[in-house]
Amino acid sequence: MDAQEAARLLKRVRAATLAGEHSKIAPRTEIGESWRRALSSGLDPDGDNRAGLLSLAEVERRRRRSPLAEVLPVLRDALVSVADAAQHIMVVSDAEGRLLWREGHPSVLKLADTLGFEVGADWSEAAAGTNGVGTPLVTGRPVQVYSAEHFVASHHTWTCAGAPVVDPRDGQLLGVVDISGPLGTMHPATLSFVTSVARLAAAELRNRHFAALERLRTSAAPVLCRVGGRALAVDDNGWVAAVTGMPPTDRLALPKEPRAGRVWLPSLGMCAIEPLPGGRLVRVCEEAGGADTPTARRVVLDLGRPRRCSVTVSGDAGSWTQELSPRHAELLFVLALNREGLSAAQLARHIFADPTRTVTVRAEMSRLRRHLAEVLAHRPYRFSEDIQVEVVRPEHAADLLPHSLSPAIARARGGHS
C-alpha cells in the first residue's frame, strides 16, 4: 500500500472512530487510546488548536535548566545529518511538550512553521492531540504517528516518530526526541532509529552521572573515615557514592529538597544531613530509638498526573515525598486496593496477567521496601495495618496510569485498556 492510499484509509478509520461508528479496521491501540483522551479533553479535531509560543527568554531559560542540553551534541551527531538528507527535521521537547530545539532540512522547517511545529510551541497531547511529541509524553513509550493517525486534521500531511528520554538519575521524564517530516518521506524503520538515539542520550546522561558519583566518592572518603557509626555519602538524588558502618546500597530515598539538619527517612529512621561537595552526608542518629522513635502514620499515593506519580509518607517527624517509577506506581496502587495483602503470585497476576512472574515482583518489591521499610510489610505484601492510605486519582478514570498495560489498572479505569 503506497503512502497516499494508506493516508486515505486512515482518514476513513479516523472519521468513523470519531463519529462513534463501526469501522472494519480499528486504529492501533495506542492511537485509539490517544484519540479517546483528546476527545474527552474537548479538543477540536478539525480546528486550529495552536497555543501561544513561549517567549525567547522563556525558551532560553528552559534550555538552560534541561538536562537534555547536556546531550544535545549526541542527538545532533546521530540525527540531524540523517534527518536533513531524508528531508526530515529533528525536534527535542521538554517534559511539558514545549519544543526547545529544532534542526534539519530548511524546506521542511518552513513547512513545519505552517503547522505551528516551531520552537516554543506546545505539542503536548492536551494541546495538539495525537502526535509524536505529546503522545510519548503520556504513554512513556516510543510512538510513530502517521498521517491521519494525528487527531487534528491539519496535521494529516505530516508524519512523526518520537521517543521519550528518561533521566537515569531520578527516573523522571525529561522530554521527547522526535523526527518529523512530510507524509511521503517517513521510513518504517524511523521509529527504531529514534528509539535507539533516545537510549543513546540516556546512556550519555548515565555516564555523566557515574562520573559525578566518582567525584563525590573521592571528596567524601576522608570525611567518612572520621565519622563514627552508620553514614552514607549521597548525591542530590539519593544515589550512594560511599558508605561506612552499614551494608552498601544503590540509592537512598531523600526528601524532595533535602536540607542540612535532622530529618526522618522511612528506610533509616532519624538522620542528620550535612552538605558535601557534590552531594550530602547522611548520618544515622543511633540514639533515636525506643518509645519516642518517630513512626509513619499516613501515606498519600498521588497518581493524578501522568508520569509524575509520587508517594508521600507523613508521621510524627513530618512528611517525606518520593517520586515513583511507573512499575512502582502500579504495585502501590494494587496494594492500596488490597489492604489484606497479596502474595508475589497474586501481584504478578494483577500486574502482568501472569502469576509465574514472581521473580520480577519480588525484585521490585524489594526495591520499594528499601525506601518504605516502615510502610510496607511482606508475607504477604501489604501496607502496614496502622497506616492510613489515600490514593489521589486523575480527574478522568480513563487517564489512570496511561502507560500501564496491567489488568488491574485496566479494571480501575472502568474497562478502558
Q: How far, in Å, CA of 267 to CA of 288, rounded?
A: 14
CA-to-CA dists, residue 327 to 57, 158, 225, 334, angstroms: 37, 33, 37, 11
pLDDT above 90 covers what percent of the chain?
52
pLDDT of residue 416: 45
Residue identified by cell 528520554 is 165
Residue type, 290: G
Handedness of CA 151, 153, 155, 160 (dihedral sign): positive
pLDDT in the model for residue 417: 40
Cα within 13 Å of Cα(139), Cβ side = 24
Residue 236 predicted with pLDDT over 90: no
pLDDT at 276: 86
Residue 120: exposure state from Cβ atoms within 10 A (0-12, 13-18, ≥19): middle
Q: What is the mean pLDDT of residues 173-192?
A: 87
- Structure-block grid coordinates of residue 73: 551534541
Neighbour order of strands in the sheet with 158-166:
99-104, 89-93, 173-182, 158-166, 143-146
Residue 415, pLDDT score: 52
Q: Is the pLDDT of residue 397 over 90?
A: no
Overall average pLDDT of the 174-180 stretch: 95
pLDDT in tens, 7-50: 788 888 888 888 878 778 888 889 999 998 898 888 999 888 77
Q: Encode pLDDT of 243-252 as tens digits.
A: 999 988 888 8
| Predicted local confidence at residue 287, as pLDDT | 65
- Position 294 pLDDT exceeds 60: no
pLDDT confidence of residue 290: 46
145 beta partners: 160
Across-strand partners of 159? 146, 181
Q: Cell numbers for 70, please give them.
A: 547536556
Q: According to the per-residue pLDDT averaged within each range, which of 200-204, 257-261, 277-281 is highest?
A: 200-204
Provide the β-strand partners of residue 231.
244, 283
Question: Using omega within 30 degrees of 0 as the cis cutoff, is the peptide bond preceding 258 cis?
Answer: no
- Could you tell me the pTM of the whole model? 0.73
C-alpha cell of residue 31: 492511537
Q: What is the DSSP string of 125-142?
A: HHHH-S-TTHHHHHHSS-
| Helices 344-352/326-337 angle, 10° precision | 120
264 and 315 in contact (C-beta within 8 Å)?
yes
Alpha-carbon gap, residue 171 to 46, rounded angstroms = 36
Residue 282: CB atoms within 10 A of its CB come to 24
Confidence at residue 317, expressed as pLDDT on a 0 to 100 scale: 56
The span from the CA of 367 to the CA of 61, in Å, is: 35
pLDDT tens string 301-354: 999 987 788 888 887 656 778 888 889 999 999 999 999 999 999 999 999 999
- Residue 292 predicted with pLDDT over 70: no
Per-residue b or e along 148-179, where b marks 16 or more CB atoms closer than 10 Å to that residue's CB: bbbbbbbbbbbbbbbbbbbbbbbeebbbbbbb
Q: Tell me, what's the pLDDT at 151?
A: 94
Nearest-angstrom CA–CA distance, 395 and 416: 15
